[in-house]
Amino acid sequence: MSAEIEDLLKRYQNYPNVSGIIILDPFAIPIKTTMEYTLTVHYAALISTLTYKAAKMITNLDASNELVTIRLRTKVHEVIVLPSENYIIIVVQNPGT
């Protein structure tokens, strides 16, 4: 588990424009983060709520379907959420264009 998370962190951190990575456990508690703590907790609370709501909505629309990623694009930056069985990965990046 821990080695897997470390590998994920290293892989995603090397991409250009990535400004922060947070990994949560299924109870929305941050396990690893590259961001400041208060911001991490803020992201964790808000994005975990959105993730659970989106996953439930997808299942409601089509019971055999399953949520893979969420991509939130704002004016300033982009948040990519990857929910999986054991943890939720949140990547915050600033796209160049």
CB 6 → another protein: shortest distance, Å? 25
The residues near 75 (Cβ < 8 Å, ≥ 6 apart) are none
Supply angle C-alpha 68, 74, 77, rounded to 5: 85
Residue with tokens 């983060």: 33
Question: Which of residues 10 and 73 has its CB atom nearest to another protein in the complex?
Answer: 73
CB 47 → another protein: shortest distance, Å? 7
Backbone φ, ψ for residue 86 (5° rounding): -100, -20
Question: Which of residues 2 and 97 has its CB atom nearest to another protein in the complex?
Answer: 97
CB 66 → another protein: shortest distance, Å? 5
- List contacts with another protein (CB under 8 A): 42-43, 46-47, 49-50, 53-54, 57-58, 60-62, 65-77
